């Protein structure tokens, strides 16, 4: 049976879809069978981030309305034989979906995969509850900004009303240069504020957008995702040090360079 993990946040635009796509890809490269489900029906874009929008024949609403079986709606990710996407089609899907029929779909897919990552809508409205009620675990994404943390705190409270096995934090878009000089909250500060275990630190890197073309395995964001994926898989809490390259004499030069771009 798949581990069903909802990727959630309070605020929009903090990296849920990015984490769903890249964590899914990394887990599949480690040998797991992974399905990514786009349950952000209003602003669905997982298919675009995964570069499969031209391969879509059916979506979740076709499954819900009986036009196809769930397996027929799965789209295989480019170059990854163990990675599939169940796409949605914006408002067309919203009108067809209820919490119960979405749960039936996830239960149906569960025996075929090791991981199911649910890309959740932002906020704490019906879409959030629908997504969380299908999951066993939650990963909460927040950036170090106060607005993101404040919204994340509300989500932590909401998640308490569900019987989830695990709720963990991923600090995204961490600027190591600013953390090194204490100009922004560190991932550890974020963990203390939200009071949920930190399992991932992802640096702010433009490389993250290269997903479709594949980023080089040794780039910083690739390494950070591998540490996160191992933590998810092994239930550990190793942390990527985003400040390492900004410490010491050469680090201060890199900090200066980063500020000037």
Ligand X SMILES: Nc1ncnc2c1ncn2[C@@H]1O[C@H](COP(=O)(O)OP(=O)(O)O)[C@@H](O)[C@H]1O
Does 186 bind Mg ion (CB under 5 A)? Our answer is no
Give whichever of 7 and 194 is closer to Mg ion, judged by the CB atom.
Answer: 7
Among 1, 12, 188, 197, binds ligand X (CB under 6 A): 12
The per-residue DSSP string of 110-158 comes to GGG-SEEEEEPPSSSSHHHHHHHTT-SEEEEEE-SSHHHHHHHHHHHHH
Does 9 bind ligand X (CB under 6 A)? Our answer is yes
Distance, CA of 220 to CA of 217 (rounded, Å): 9
Give whichever of 23 and 70 is closer to ligand X, judged by the CB atom.
Answer: 23
Each as own residue / partner, the long-range contacts of residues 252-256 (CB below 8 Å, 24 or more positions apart, any chain) are 254/177, 255/177, 255/180, 255/181
Among 3, 4, 16, 226, binds ligand X (CB under 6 A): 16
Each as own residue / partner, the long-range contacts of residues 215-222 (CB below 8 Å, 24 or more positions apart, any chain) are 220/245, 221/22, 222/26
Q: Quick check: 136 and 4 in contact, CB under 8 A?
A: yes
> Which one of 77-85, 130-138, 177-185, 205-213 is the stretch in contact with ligand X (CB under 6 A)?
205-213
- CB 84 to ligand X: min, Å: 19
Q: Give, to the nearest 10 degrees, the angle between helix 220-234 and helix 16-29.
A: 70
Does 22 bind Mg ion (CB under 5 A)? Our answer is no
Distance, CA of 2 to CA of 128 (rounded, Å): 20
Count of residues in contact with ligand X, rule CB under 6 A = 15
Does 143 bind Mg ion (CB under 5 A)? Our answer is no
Cα torsion angle, 220, 206, 215, 174, sign: positive
- CB 121 to ligand X: min, Å: 9
Among 17, 93, 186, 231, binds Mg ion (CB under 5 A): 17
Residues from 208 through 247 that contact ligand X (CB under 6 A): 208-209
Does 186 bind ligand X (CB under 6 A)? Our answer is no
Task: Select from 58, 133, 61 the least CA-distant residue to 91.
Answer: 61
Does 8 bind Mg ion (CB under 5 A)? Our answer is no
> Which one of 9-17, 86-94, 123-131, 153-161 is the stretch in contact with ligand X (CB under 6 A)?
9-17
Contact set with ligand X (CB under 6 A): 9, 12-18, 172-173, 202, 204-205, 208-209
Contact set with Mg ion (CB under 5 A): 16-17
């Amino acid at each position: 049976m798949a581990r069903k993990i909802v990727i959630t946040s309070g605020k929009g635009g903090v990296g849920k879809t990015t984490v769903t796509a890249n964590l899914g890809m990394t887990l599949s490269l480690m040998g797991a069978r992974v399905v990514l489900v786009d349950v952000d029906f209003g602003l669905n874009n997982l298919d675009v981030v995964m570069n499969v929008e031209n391969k879509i024949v059916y979506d979740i609403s076709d499954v819900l309305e009986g036009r196809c079986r769930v397996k027929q709606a799965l789209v295989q990710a480019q170059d990854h034989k163990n990675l599939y996407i169940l796409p949605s089609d914006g408002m067309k899907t919203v009108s067809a979906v209820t919490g119960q029929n979405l749960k039936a779909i996830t239960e149906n897919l569960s025996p075929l995969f090791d991981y199911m990552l649910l890309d959740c809508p932002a906020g704490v409205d019906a879409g959030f509850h629908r997504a969380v009620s299908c999951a066993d675990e939650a990963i909460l994404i927040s950036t170090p900004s106060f607005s993101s943390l404040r919204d994340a705190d509300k989500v932590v409270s909401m998640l308490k009303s569900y019987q989830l096995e695990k709720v963990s934090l991923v600090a995204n878009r961490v600027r190591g240069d600013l953390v090194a000089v204490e100009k922004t909250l560190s991932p550890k500060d974020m963990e203390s504020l939200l009071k949920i275990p930190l399992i991932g630190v992802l640096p702010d890197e433009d490389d993250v957008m290269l997903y479709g073309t594949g980023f080089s395995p040794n780039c910083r964001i690739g390494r950070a995702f591998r540490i996160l994926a191992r933590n998810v898989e092994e239930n550990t809490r190793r942390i990527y040090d985003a400040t390492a390259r900004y410490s010491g004499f050469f680090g201060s030069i890199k900090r200066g360079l980063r500020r000037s771009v």
